[in-house]
Amino acid sequence: MDGAHPTARSLLSDIFGFDAFRPLQEEIVASVTRGEDVLAILPTGGGKSLCYQLPALLRPGLTVVISPLIALMRDQVRALREAGVAAAALTSGNTQDETDAVYAGLAQGSLKVLYMAPERLATGGTDRLLAQAGVTLLAVDEAHCVSQWGHDFRPDYLRIGALRRALDVPLAAFTATADSETRAEITARLFDGAAPCTFLGGFDRPNIHLAFAPKSKPREQILTFASARKDQSGIVYCGTRAKTETLAKALNDHGLQAAAYHAGMEPDTRREVERRFQTEDGLIVVATVAFGMGIDKPDIRWVAHADLPKSIEAYYQEVGRAGRDGEPAETLTLYGADDIRFRRMQIDESPSPPERRLADHGRLNALLGLAEAQDCRRRKLLAYFEDDEAACGNCDLCAAPPETFDGTEAVMKALSAILRTGESFGVGHLTDVLTGTRTEKVSARGHDRLPTFGVGQDIDRREWAAIFRQMMGHDLVRPDPERHGGLRMTQAARPILKGEQTISLRRDTITSGTRRSAPKALVSDEDAPLLSALKARRRALAEAQRAPAYVIFPDRTLIEMAEKRPATLDQMSHISGVGAKKLERYGQTFLEVINGDAAEVPDHPARRKLAGRAAGEVYDRLLAAQARLNRGADGTGKPMSCSASLLARIAALGPGAGEQLDRLLGDRLAERFGTAFAEILEDG
């Protein structure tokens, strides 16, 4: 630390190891540090924790943090301690020893940050305990839990207002939920109606790639997407409990690591899945929306929807669980006519009052508009949340704008078929009528004598299916729950039917299936093996402490290590995320991985395939040699390495490979590694 008076910036780099604030963090930190009442609304991943942790260090006395998530509290306490901050938690999950230690810390005045579950506020004595502990700041995480109308309501949050009054200290509240009703409730209940300094961050999550695809072979679509992202943590959301289990099994059968999760499972089993997801490095959780708020893993690399979510809000929240660490993350949302029907019926059949159902249809429509969008999805999504238009370039439609066509005539034909058959039939029968297919049902109802019979022969059945789906997506037709889901025309379709309005439809969703999107690599091919070695070391350290990997170092830090390859502790200290404490604790061991003083067994899939075979051992020796020669024999050359798959191919060559080895390596790599590798192969 420089000088006697640490500043927000010096602590940011010394304690947290970050070199820049995220948007609004600096302003919020300043305001909270000055002792103002603050309400900060930042998107998930915006870095809210830092906004109270840093002021806690800048202010005298103790900061109490109320948070509803026990697992999260534990991780944060761990991370703070790793960074050298005196932090502790009081939760129902504590052992007696832990609780005693907290009390001792409070009595000595040695604690800086105390996390508390809201339930603690209800137990007698807590107020008195805090009153004597020299609390100078209250921070409330997930402040929307105070809203009685939200999904996450926690009755104990209602006690926070009284605690603030009793302690008479400033309060800083944080949430990602920004609608004005929730905001008003937070102000009323936490701040006694006196408006706090409010900071409202944007909604955009630019690192999250957005993509939708109509279902063609949904299981294959998910398997393909997940397989391409093997070894990355991801979530697949499903519409039903049964599907979470079958899909998890399918993923496992495909050689991926997957676990199902839904509210019907035993609490213990659920907790075990949560724990594994939090600590393991490449688990896929296949879940219903029950896998939600408690999930605070910052390095979830992808989220897929095997079924359409129920609203645009749900969509935003679910995809938003990916990439909280700011690194690239990907999403894929599948949808089809059945999903639309299912979601509509669900709303129609819910017990909510009519106004509520109307609003729910509106939220579903907004999501369908996003699914059937013809240009940038991010702009559409943000427009819904009334966020300023942001630059995108990170969605499937920006990458490849869809082909569109004037669908007015086709839609008019379909509407006419719907009206003439009495608005009582589904897509299958309507398509029979339009394409002039004389089924039994068509003949029995006399629909082959309708003027619309066969008027749509120029369009094939698959295309009709896509047209009907888009008509549902534009809310021109809706399934009628009173008529077994038969399609009815809505008011929105009238102008088209009357020829007053045209409609443009997407062609690509009709002809091509899912466009193949290549997964985003976090680092170049050259750095990939080192990154997996660094991750393996991180996992070993995390497992030894029974902590999530990111508590040791976030992905970004390892990526930077792999790219910059620091050779000394001094260089290591310039890597973002390496604060003073972490440098002391872990600097050496990661330097060894990078500079090859220890042979590291990477967890790369190419290596795993060789596990237990002679080639596996050869592979490891090749890797060690490569690490040794990373900067050449004299240690001054440009860092060079081979990809894991190349090493695996070399390991399989066996003795006497000679020329073949040189061919595989190419000139540049052969010059650096050829001799060493050939020797290893000879005695392999």
* 420 sits in which H/E element: helix 408-420
When binding is defined by CB under 5 A, the residue of 74, 229, 297, 378 that contacts Zn ion is 378
H helical segments located in 512-554: 528-545, 549-552
Under rule CB under 6 A, residue 254 binds ligand ADP: no
Q: Does 55 bind ligand ADP (CB under 6 A)?
A: no
Cβ nearer to ligand ADP, comparing 201 with 485: 201
Contact region with Zn ion (CB under 5 A), list: 71-79, 91-99, 178-186, 397-405: 397-405
Phi, psi of 612, rounded to the nearest 5 degrees: 80, -5
From 11, 383, 32, select the one nearest 198 (Cα to Cα): 32
Nearest residue to 332 (alpha-carbon basis) of 256, 413, 396:
396
Give the other-Cβ count within 10 Å of 570's Cβ. Answer: 10
Q: How far is the CB of 210 from Zn ion (least distance, A)?
A: 7
From the list 86, 197, 345, 398, which residue makes contact with Zn ion (rule: CB under 5 A)? 398
Q: Which does 137 bind (CB under 5 to 8 A by kind): ligand ADP, Zn ion, none?
A: none
Question: Using CB under 6 A, which residues numbered 536 to 595 contact ligand ADP?
Answer: 554
Tell which one of 325, 327, 396, 432 touches ligand ADP (CB under 6 A): 325
Alpha carbon 550 to its chain centroid, in Å, reads: 15
Amino acid 45 reads G
Among 18, 342, 453, 590, which residue interacts with ligand ADP (rule: CB under 6 A)? 18
507, two tokens? 């062609």
| Residue 21 engages ligand ADP in binding (rule: CB under 6 A) | yes
Helix locations, 168-266, DSSP H: 180-190, 218-227, 241-253
Tell whether residue 22 is a contact of ligand ADP (CB under 6 A).
Answer: yes
By a kind-dependent CB cut-off of 5 to 8 A, residue 548 interacts, out of ligand ADP, Zn ion, none, with none
In this structure, the number of other CB atoms found within 10 A of the CB of residue 33 comes to 19
Tell me if 491 sits within 8 A of 360, measured CB to CB: no
Choose from ligand ADP, Zn ion, none: what does 445 bind? Cβ within 5-8 Å by kind: none
7/328 Cα distance (integer angstroms): 31
Query: Smallest Cα–Cα separation from 199: which of 403, 450, 320, 25?
Result: 25
Measured CA to CA, the distance from residue 570 to residue 578 in angstroms comes to 11
Q: Which residues contact 34 (CB under 8 A, 6 or more apart)?
A: none
Q: Residue 87, SS3?
A: strand
Site stretch for ligand ADP (CB under 6 A), options 47-55, 128-136, 229-237, 308-316: 47-55
47 binds ligand ADP (CB under 6 A): yes
The structure tokens listed for 505 are 């439809």
Contact in structure between 366 and 245 (CB atoms under 8 Å): no
> Which of 29, 37, 48, 143 contacts ligand ADP by CB under 6 A?
48
Query: If binding is defined by CB under 6 A, does position 187 make contact with ligand ADP?
Result: no
Instruction: State both tokens at 138.
Output: 């209250």
C-alpha 323/C-alpha 320 separation (Å) is 7
Least Cβ distance, residue 521 to ligand ADP (angstroms):
21
378 touches, from ligand ADP, Zn ion, none (C-beta below 5 to 8 Å by class): Zn ion
Q: Which stretch binds ligand ADP (CB under 6 A): 42-50, 202-210, 335-343, 657-665?
A: 42-50
Question: Which entry of Zn ion, ligand ADP, none binds 147, CB below 5 to 8 A by partner kind?
Answer: none
Question: In angstroms, rounded to a whole number, what is the distance separating the alpha carbons of residues 362 and 368?
Answer: 10
- Does 46 contact ligand ADP by CB under 6 A? yes
Q: Which residue, 331 or 532, is less far from Zn ion as judged by CB?
A: 331
User: How many positions of this chain bind ligand ADP (CB under 6 A)?
Assistant: 16
Query: Which part of the chain contacts Zn ion (CB under 5 A), choosing from 245-253, 278-286, 370-378, 591-599?
Result: 370-378
Q: Which stretch binds Zn ion (CB under 5 A): 8-16, 372-380, 547-555, 633-641?
A: 372-380
Residue 321 in the binding site for Zn ion (CB under 5 A): no
Determine which residue in the list 42, 65, 138, 536 makes contact with ligand ADP, applying CB under 6 A: 42
Judged by beta carbon, residue 13 or residue 509, the one nearer Zn ion is: 509
Footprint of ligand ADP (CB under 6 A): 18, 21-22, 25, 42, 44-50, 298, 324-325, 554
